[in-house]
């Protein structure tokens, strides 16, 4: 059954706001966001972000699945997957000079909301925008915790290898 993207995005934003602000907001606040950031349907296999491109927006995944790959000297390698409620490309919003660090494709048919910095600026007093920012805060916290753990493990693995040599 085909999911109506507008309906799915409206439910998503109401859910996001209830989750983070613990209140139900007026439809008008949700509609304001959807008018400026209409849901984007992404067919399976379609590239949504390309490594090296200028970064100008984050993507909120309403439903579906995206996968990220990085082109390195050793070739293309997959570095992660993201599903509904996840965010990709979030560093674009508060470090706009950083190019995209990975290429992101739809692993299956997906729906996303594109969040440019301008949406945050124009919607400063919209509670749905506040909920989106709080969601980004949780996403960055989770990512930074994973990265810090990765650094600790990488240092430990490296030290262990050197100790064995």
Partner 1 sequence: MSTEALRVGAQTLAGAYPEVGANAEELLSLLRACRLRSYAEGEDLCVEGEPSQQLYIVLEGAVQVERANDGAPIRIEVRAPTLLGTMGIVDRSRRTATCTAIRGTALAATMDRDVFRTLIRGTDGRGIALRRLMLTVLTRQLIDGNDRLRTLVASADRHGEGDPLRSALLRAGR
* Strand intervals (E) in the chain: 40-42, 47-49, 57-72, 75-83, 87-88, 103-116
Q: How far apart (Å, rounded) are the C-alpha atoms in residues 96 and 92?
A: 5
Residue 93's CB: how many other CB atoms inside 10 A?
Answer: 21
β-pairing, 103-116 vs 57-72, is antiparallel
Which residue, 2 or 164, has its beta carbon nearer to partner 1? 164
Residue 74's CB: how many other CB atoms inside 10 A?
Answer: 6
Six token digits for residue 23: 């209140």
Told to check if 1 binds partner 1 by CB under 8 A, we report no
Helix (H, G, I), strand (E, B) or coil at 101: coil
Minimal distance in Å, beta carbon 2 to partner 1?
Answer: 31
Among 30, 42, 112, 130, binds partner 1 (CB under 8 A): 130
Contact window for partner 1 (CB under 8 A) among 3-11, 45-53, 107-115, 117-125: 117-125
Minimal distance in Å, beta carbon 156 to partner 1?
Answer: 8
Which residue, 8 or 130, has its beta carbon nearer to partner 1? 130
H-run or E-run covering 159: helix 127-164
Told to check if 6 binds partner 1 by CB under 8 A, we report no
Helix (H, G, I), strand (E, B) or coil at 51: coil
Among 15, 54, 96, 99, binds partner 1 (CB under 8 A): 96
Among 7, 38, 94, 99, binds partner 1 (CB under 8 A): 94
For the segment 8-27, give every residue that binds partner 1 (CB under 8 A): 20-22
Binding positions for partner 1, rule: CB under 8 A: 20-22, 79-80, 90-91, 93-96, 98, 101, 117, 120-121, 124-127, 130, 133-134, 136-138, 140-159, 161
């Amino acid at each position: 059954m085909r999911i109506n993207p507008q309906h799915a995005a409206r439910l998503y934003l109401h859910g996001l706001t209830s989750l983070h602000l613990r209140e139900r907001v007026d439809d008008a606040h949700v509609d304001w966001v959807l008018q400026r950031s209409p849901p984007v349907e992404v067919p399976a296999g379609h590239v949504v972000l390309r490594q090296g491109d200028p970064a100008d927006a984050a993507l909120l995944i309403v439903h579906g699945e995206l996968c990220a790959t990085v082109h390195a000297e050793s070739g293309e390698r997959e570095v992660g997957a993201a599903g509904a409620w996840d965010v990709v490309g979030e560093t674009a919003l508060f470090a706009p000079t950083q190019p995209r660090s990975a290429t992101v494709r739809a692993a299956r048919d997906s729906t996303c909301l594109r969040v440019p910095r301008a949406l945050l600026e124009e919607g400063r007093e919209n509670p749905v925008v506040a909920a989106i920012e709080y969601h980004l805060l949780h996403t960055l916290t989770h990512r930074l915790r994973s990265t810090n753990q990765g650094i600790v493990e990488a240092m430990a693995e490296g030290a262990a290898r050197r100790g064995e040599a």
